[in-house]
């Protein structure tokens, strides 16, 4: 053994002693991940479908130390190992499993994923393993060791895996489980496809020991055009200098972090304001030593004044449409700028300046593409229907999803509303849960509006009155209503609305189903004419709502749902799209387009 090797071994032993057991740690989400030093682990991953979780539990249902995550290989000819990732088929990551393997179309359960990768130490740098989203529950293993466990299918998470990595070849294995459970968020029932798998990007992120974890750059107020910039390092380190540079504004400022590793600065500037008519974004460069992050940031204000919504101080009407994160043609989870662009172009053609990204945080590409296209966004977490209101773990899970959604998108000028729930049944426990969430959202971000999709499901004497204890916690009062579909047909013209709150009103859903190409009388359900008439009657009714500030009908495109079983019509699609699942326009599209022309 030469001297050099001896030294290496000694160092290694010392490292192990200091670190105790070698392990990974979950670290707060790194913001603006695409601007970092990244290596993509997207592509073909081997997978094993594990219906009974044989790769995790032994035959007495105890978690086994010899699970699939160790990636065992026979050492001798007589060795018994009943799985082999390298002989298993592959699927594309990111991507849902349901549309990549016919056998998995309806599957809800566990699938194991594995891929190998090369890694080389980069001085004292750290390596984070980042997932854009995994639906729903993920156990992540690196070289056979648990890196971490995550629940929640639509938000990013990352682990510092440096201490689990070795020079050269490494492997990462995931156990992904999308079984529905009562205490999950969303819970057992929800009206969309439970696409399972590693549905968003997987990246290795190379960071220095100290790095910029997140930052926030925004317009504080229109008066005096004050910008604020705050930055947070990954650890409480004082004296770090961070420079913000916005060349087009000739603005360059340096801040020094305090003992908690954060710094904030206010400055005067006169940026052009971001708006749907002029979605102006500025190139921004943030630097700390040798670390450089680039971003595109827009500046605007959004506020509610009485029943008015003001963008940059001027009243605005939100001409919207709701969207699920499903590919434009043929379905499957969407996860690319191109996917987003197609859907958002359809919304634009409809005349939209706004979209409701339902019912969970969509991928970052979609939010950014909407921002470039001048489309405002309502972003929400899947606190949907019958959540387990009294379960502490459920609350913690919802709060975590809310936190991660906000920390990912807090610099997006187009995101104007955080919504924390959809159509939840009233009760004291639900009020407690939702008011806590609303307060939490406000504590994280006081610059955007908070809403909840409430509901009105009946009216006495045709008088619809919105009544919800949560109204005092929101800035914008929103509700879903289905007159003409779940409620009486053809009585929209008789309906009156009373919304007893001095806040802007958004109708967050309305609509009805139609099968593209099915024609008939306007009273015949499932025909395009029925849906067209429903839109006509509803839009005329909405015009009479005092304080109506926006609308996001349900929905842009037919989307997959296991609850929609009517043969020959639904075939596991919710047919309320104004586009079919293949992107064909239904008649209702033109009614809505015409109405938006007048707004």
User: Which of 365, 231, 226 lies closest to 285 in space, CA to CA?
Assistant: 231
**CB of 230 or CB of 570, closer to ligand GCB:** 570
Task: State the nearest-atom distance from the C-beta of 190 to ligand GCB, in Å.
Answer: 7
**CB of 45 or CB of 589, closer to ligand GCB:** 589
**CB of 301 or CB of 480, closer to ligand GCB:** 480
**CB of 156 or CB of 577, closer to ligand GCB:** 577
Task: State the nearest-atom distance from the C-beta of 366 to ligand GCB, in Å.
Answer: 18
Task: State the nearest-atom distance from the C-beta of 531 to ligand GCB, in Å.
Answer: 12
**CB of 162 or CB of 538, closer to ligand GCB:** 538
User: How far, rounded to the nearest angstrom, does the alpha carbon of residue 219 sit from its chain's CA centroid?
Assistant: 24
Q: Is the peptide bond preceding residue 186 cis, with omega within 30 degrees of 0?
A: yes
Task: State the nearest-atom distance from the C-beta of 457 to ligand GCB, in Å.
Answer: 10
Question: 319 and 551 in contact (C-beta within 8 Å)?
Answer: yes
Task: State the nearest-atom distance from the C-beta of 545 to ligand GCB, in Å.
Answer: 18
**CB of 251 or CB of 381, closer to ligand GCB:** 381
Pairing of strands 318-323, 314-315: unpaired
Q: At what angle do helices 528-542 and 587-597 cross, to 10 degrees?
A: 20
Task: State the nearest-atom distance from the C-beta of 355 to ligand GCB, in Å.
Answer: 15
Task: State the nearest-atom distance from the C-beta of 529 to ligand GCB, in Å.
Answer: 19
**CB of 99 or CB of 422, closer to ligand GCB:** 422
Task: State the nearest-atom distance from the C-beta of 386 to ligand GCB, in Å.
Answer: 13
> % helix / strand / coil in the chain, to the nearest 5?
20, 35, 45
Distance, in Å, from the CA atom of 382 to the CA atom of 398, rounded to the nearest integer, reads: 8
Distance, in Å, from the CA atom of 99 to the CA atom of 107, rounded to the nearest integer, reads: 11
Distance, in Å, from the CA atom of 258 to the CA atom of 298, rounded to the nearest integer, reads: 27
Tell me which residues touch ligand GCB (CB under 6 A): 191, 359, 422-423, 480, 509, 554, 574, 576
Q: Order of strands across the sheet with 302-305?
A: 302-305, 308-311, 314-315
Task: State the nearest-atom distance from the C-beta of 86 to ligand GCB, in Å.
Answer: 41
Question: 309 and 550 in contact (C-beta within 8 Å)?
Answer: yes
The residue ranges of DSSP E strands in 152-290, in sequence order, are 157-160, 168-177, 202-207, 212-221, 226-233, 241-246, 251-256, 262-268, 282-288
Distance, in Å, from the CA atom of 480 to the CA atom of 384, rounded to the nearest integer, reads: 13
Task: State the nearest-atom distance from the C-beta of 468 to ligand GCB, in Å.
Answer: 15
Distance, in Å, from the CA atom of 82 to the CA atom of 55, rounded to the nearest integer, reads: 10
DSSP for 303-352 reads EEETTEEEETTEE--EEEEEE-SB-TTT-SB--SHHHHHHHHHHHHHHT-
**CB of 189 or CB of 396, closer to ligand GCB:** 189
Distance, in Å, from the CA atom of 188 to the CA atom of 179, rounded to the nearest integer, reads: 9
Using CB atoms, what's the residue nearest to ligand GCB?
191
Distance, in Å, from the CA atom of 354 to the CA atom of 347, rounded to the nearest integer, reads: 8
**CB of 407 or CB of 422, closer to ligand GCB:** 422
Angstrom distances, CA of residue 188 to CA of 135, 180, 199 = 14, 5, 20
**CB of 270 or CB of 426, closer to ligand GCB:** 426
């Amino acid at each position: 053994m030469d001297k050099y090797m001896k030294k290496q071994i000694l160092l290694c032993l010392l490292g192990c002693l200091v670190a105790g057991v070698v392990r990974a740690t979950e670290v707060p989400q790194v913001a603006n991940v695409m601007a970092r030093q990244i290596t993509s682990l997207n592509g073909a991953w081997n997978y094993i479908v594990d219906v009974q979780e044989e790769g995790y539990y032994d035959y007495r249902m105890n978690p086994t130390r010899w699970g699939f995550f160790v990636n065992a290989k026979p050492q001798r000819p007589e060795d018994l190992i009943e799985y082999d990732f390298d002989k298993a088929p592959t699927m594309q990551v990111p991507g849902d499993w349901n549309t990549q393997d016919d056998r998995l179309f309806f599957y809800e359960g566990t699938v194991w994923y594995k891929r190998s990768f090369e890694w080389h130490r980069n001085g004292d740098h750290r390596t984070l393993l980042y997932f854009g989203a995994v639906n729903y529950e993920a156990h992540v293993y690196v070289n056979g060791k648990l890196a971490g466990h995550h629940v929640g299918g639509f938000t990013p998470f990352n682990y510092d895996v440096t201490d689990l990595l070795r020079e050269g070849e490494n492997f990462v294995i995931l156990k992904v489980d999308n079984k529905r459970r009562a205490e999950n968020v969303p819970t057992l029932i929800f009206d969309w496809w439970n696409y399972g798998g590693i549905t968003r990007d997987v990246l290795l992120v190379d960071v220095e020991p100290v790095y910029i974890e997140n930052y926030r750059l925004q317009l504080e107020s229109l008066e005096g055009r004050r910008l604020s910039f705050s930055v947070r390092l990954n650890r409480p380190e004082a004296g770090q200098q961070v420079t913000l540079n916005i060349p087009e504004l000739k603005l360059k400022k340096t801040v020094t972090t305090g003992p908690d590793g954060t710094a904030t600065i206010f400055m005067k500037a006169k940026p052009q304001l971001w708006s749907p008519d002029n979605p102006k974004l500025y190139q921004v460069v943030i630097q700390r030593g040798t670390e450089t992050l680039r971003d595109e940031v827009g500046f605007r204000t959004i506020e509610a004044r009485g029943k008015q919504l003001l963008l940059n101080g001027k009243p605005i009407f939100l001409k919207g449409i709701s969207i699920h994160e499903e590919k434009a043609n043929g379905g499957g989870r969407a996860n690319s700028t191109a996917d987003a662009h197609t859907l958002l172009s359809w919304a634009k053609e409809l005349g939209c300046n706004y979209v409701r990204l339902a019912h969970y945080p969509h991928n970052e590409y979609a939010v950014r593409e909407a921002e470039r296209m001048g489309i405002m966004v309502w972003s929400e977490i899947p606190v949907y229907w019958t959540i387990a209101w009294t379960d502490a773990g459920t609350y913690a899970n919802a709060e975590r999803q809310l936190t991660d959604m906000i920390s990912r998108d807090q610099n997006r000028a187009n995101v104007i509303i955080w919504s924390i729930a959809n159509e939840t049944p009233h009760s004291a426990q639900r009020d407690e849960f939702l008011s806590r969430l609303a307060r939490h959202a406000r504590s994280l971000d006081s610059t955007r509006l908070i809403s909840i999709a409430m509901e009105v499901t009946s009216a006495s004497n045709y008088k619809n009155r919105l009544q919800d204890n949560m109204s005092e916690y929101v800035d914008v009062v929103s509700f879903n209503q289905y007159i003409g579909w779940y409620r009486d047909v053809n009585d929209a013209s008789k309906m009156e609305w009373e919304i007893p709150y001095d806040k802007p009103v958004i109708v967050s859903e309305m609509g009805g189903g139609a099968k593209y190409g099915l024609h008939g009388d306007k009273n015949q359900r499932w025909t395009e004419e029925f849906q067209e008439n429903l839109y006509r009657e509803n839009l005329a009714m909405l015009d009479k709502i005092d304080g109506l500030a926006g609308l996001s009908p349900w929905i842009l495109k037919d989307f997959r749902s296991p609850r929609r079983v009517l043969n020959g019509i639904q075939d596991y699609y919710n047919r309320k799209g104004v586009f079919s699942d293949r992107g064909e326009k239904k008649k209702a599209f033109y009614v809505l387009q015409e109405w938006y022309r007048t707004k």
